[in-house]
Amino acid sequence: EAGVAQSPRYKIIEKRQSVAFWCNPISGHATLYWYQQILGQGPKLLIQFQNNGVVDDSQLPKDRFSAERLKGVDSTLKIQPAKLEDSAVYLCASSPLGFYNEQFFGPGTRLTVL
């Protein structure tokens, strides 16, 4: 079974630039999560989708972050414009519908904002 795929693995941008991350969850997983993991901290949930609908985006900085999951499969997370404090690893995870204890994580995208 293929795992959660993310790209790119690494990204370096200047502040005020835009960046987008892509996630492909495990086939058949209805629930998809985006986490932000700042160095030295645990992952923090940014947004959760169930199929193509948003379940929880209470911790997403909506003035600069946006996410979508068209057709309930792949998802993209965008930051526009980026700030220095956005430097982090962005993790994508997925789980089968209703099985919230079974989160499978991707390798993450490491973002550095200069």
Q: Give the footprint of another protein on this chain (CB under 8 A).
A: 3, 31, 40-45, 48, 55-56, 89, 91, 93, 100-103, 105-108, 110
Closest CB to another protein among residues 20, 45: 45
User: Exposure of 37 by Cβ count < 10 A (0-12 exposed, 13-18 middle, 19+ buried)?
Assistant: middle
Closest CB to another protein among residues 82, 106: 106
Closest CB to another protein among residues 3, 16: 3
Token pair belonging to 112: 């550095």
Smallest distance, another protein to C-beta of residue 28, A: 18
Smallest distance, another protein to C-beta of residue 16, A: 27
Whole-angstrom distance, CA of residue 96 vs CA of residue 92: 14
Whole-angstrom distance, CA of residue 61 vs CA of residue 88: 14
Token pair belonging to 27: 């086939």
Token pair belonging to 97: 């519908």
Smallest distance, another protein to C-beta of residue 113, A: 18
Closest CB to another protein among residues 96, 107: 107
The answer to whether 74 and 24 are in contact (CB under 8 A) is yes
Smallest distance, another protein to C-beta of residue 10, A: 11
